[in-house]
Structure 1
Amino acid sequence: MDVASEYLIDIVDRAMTEDVEDGDITTMSTVRPDVHGHAVIIAKQDGVISGLDAAALVFYRLDPESEFITDLFEGSPITRGQEVIAIKGTLAALLTGERTALNFLMHLSGIATLTSRFVKQVNHTSCQILDTRKTMPGLRLLENRAVASGGGFNHRLGLFDMILIKNNHVDAAGSVEQAIQNAYDYKTRQGLLQIKIEVETRTFDEVQQAVHLPVDRIMLDNFTVLDCAKAVQIIRGVKPEMEIEASGNMKLDNVRAYAETGIDFISVGAITHSADWLDMSMRIESL
Structure 2
Amino acid sequence: MPSEHRLAPIVVTVLGIALFATMDAFMKSAALAVGAYSALILRNAIGFAGVAPLWLALGGRWPRRAVLRIHLKRGVVVAFMAFTFFFALVRLPLAEAIALSFIAPLIALYLAALLLGEVIERRAIVAALFGLAGVAVIVGSKLGAQALDRDSAIGLAAMAFSAVLYAWNLVIQREQALVAGPAEVATFQNGVVALTLLPLAPLLFSLPEAAAWRDIGAAALLATGAAMLLAWAYARAEAQVLVPVEYTAFLWAALFGWLFFREELGPGTVTGAVLIVIGCWIAARRRPEPPEQSAL
User: Is the helix fraction higher in 1 or 2?
Assistant: 2
TM-score by length of structure 1 reads 0.26
Higher relative contact order (CA 8 A, sep 6+): 2
User: Is the strand fraction higher in 1 or 2?
Assistant: 1
**Structure number, greater radius of gyration:** 1
TM-score by length of structure 2 reads 0.26
